[in-house]
A and B are shown apart, each in its own frame.
Chain A
């Protein structure tokens, strides 16, 4: 235990660990904000689908040997987010089927590309780190950190500015429309924010675990609180706490960052479920 703390303090001396902490906290904060909307709008799998798209785009970017992969990955993911939302509305292929199609398709193409034009000798290592984000959070450059800070500020600002509209659109689309809200625009906004969050979060937990980061804090908060505002605040707090504990634990115990954070989120969910059923039972 003491050895673990010593190791944490020792590691915190290094800039790359401090970068990881800053980026981790920001990503956790952003990803939790739209959790409630995604869970309740039955959009949970959009996050999952988009993260696989981001994996595919990442594979293309690395095959093209791009230095800053975000330039490619971000727009591709945003475009897919918009397409997925559209398909959910005019339903020739039902929303969840479309998501499944795009996500497994992107996953397969990504892996195929990485194998046909390998960038390094360790293909499975590359694939694994993209899927589970094993080390990428600890290899961030200062420019990555700044990009993350700027995008996070934009996401938080947009969320706060449109908070009441997002509530309306989530709770009752038809009523929102009847009061003159352009619901489609807000769906678009939500989709774009999700895409940005996913691209950011790939660094932290890798593309397979992103939806956990989005869904768990919101579900945990919903066990305990019953108003939109308190659930949103609580899920942000839980998400940041989970990311901090996960990061510190993974440094102390030398475990993979992404899966440690998700494991902590699962534990928090279990605790909240128990607390919720004991103290905050529904009438």
Chain B
């Protein structure tokens, strides 16, 4: 039984589908990258998987005892967070919100979990620092730590490396790869097709043509080959300009 199974899923707003015909499943231990052009509905799919919005049609089934609130979410940063007075510890602790339930304050076990997670991701020394003061890579680690406090099973990430420089991006990818090796299932939206085919076990390509399968099959598929070539071309063009 897969953790998440989507059957002929269509996602969008107000009954209008942005992406349709999505049939795929994610099993425990998978590393799924969701790729596609801008506006193809990747973020909408993520929001639907998290039950932040209703699917237009089709169904999402959760299996293996996965509760909807057990998915650790790493969203894109919002403008409000740029000057928000919050310490790293406060933010990471807020990942324990789901475990806490109706209880008004966090208990010792939850504080300990937050501490361990911060230590694991190498941000414990920043725990009293203010979130907006941190660098982009450090901020992503904080939000990743928060997501890890919310789940032991699945991480859902919306372009975790957006706006980071190449060195920090590589560090973050290897950090995520380490978490995957520890048995955490990864679902990630990525613009970075090279990193996607390097790390992911499965690829979901959405757009005019929908592809779902293992990374090996994606490399040799028509949509995969054309997308890889096109992205590499635009990537090297950017390098030339830079």
**Shortest CB distance B141–A (Å):** 15
Most buried by B among A171, A179, A228: A179
Q: In the complex, which residues of chain A have a beta carbon less than 8 angstroms from the beta carbon of B83?
A: 40, 222
- A165 adjacent to B97 (CB under 8 Å): yes
A3 beta carbon closer than 8 Å to chain B = no
CB pair B97–A168 under 8 Å, yes or no, is yes
Contact status A231-B104, CB under 8 Å:
no
In the bound complex, do residue A168 and residue B94 qualify as a contact, i.e. CB atoms below 8 Å apart? yes
Contact A176 B97 (CB under 8 A): yes
How far apart are the CA atoms of A283 and B135 in the complex, in Å?
10
Q: How far is the CA of A178 from the CA of B133 in the complex (A)?
A: 26
In this complex, the interface size class of chain B, counting residues with CB under 8 Å from chain A, is 35 or more
The answer to whether A160 touches B52, judged by C-beta atoms less than 8 angstroms apart, is: no
Contact with A along B75-98 (1 / 0, CB 8 A): 100101101111101110111011
Contact status B97-A228, CB under 8 Å:
no
Given contacts A164-B105, A171-B81, contact A228 B87 (CB under 8 A): yes
Query: Using a CB-CB cutoff of 8 Å, which residues 84-123 of chain B contact chain A?
Result: 84-87, 89-91, 93-95, 97-98, 100, 104-106
- Check if B68 is an interface residue, CB within 8 A of chain A: yes
Residues of B within 8 A of A161 (CB): 104
Residues of A within 8 A of B45 (CB): none
Q: Does B162 contact A (CB under 8 A)?
A: no
Query: Within 8 Å of chain A (Cβ to Cβ): is B205?
Result: no
Specify which of A40, A167, A177, A226 is in contact with B94 (CB 8 Å cutoff). A167
**A229 adjacent to B50 (CB under 8 Å):** no
Known: A40-B80, A176-B97, A181-B97. A162 touches B52 (CB 8 A): no
**Interface residue count on the A side (C-beta < 8 Å):** 34
| Closest-CB distance, A207 to chain B (whole angstroms) | 28
Q: Are B87 and A227 neighbours in the complex by a CB distance under 8 Å?
A: yes
Smallest CB gap from A221: residue in B: B85
Other-chain residue from B71, B86, B104, B130 in contact with A178 (beta carbon distance below 8 A): B71
A174 to B78, CA, bound (A): 10
Interface string of A36-49 (1 = CB under 8 A from B): 10001110000000
Chain A residues within 8 Å of B132, by CB: 226, 282
A175 close to chain B: CB less than 8 A: yes
Nearest-Cβ distance from residue B136 to partner chain A, whole angstroms = 14
Contact A164 B104, beta carbon cutoff 8 Å: yes
Q: Which residues of B contact A (CB under 8 A)?
A: 47, 50-52, 68-69, 71, 73, 75, 78, 80-81, 83-87, 89-91, 93-95, 97-98, 100, 104-106, 128-130, 132-133, 146-147, 150, 156
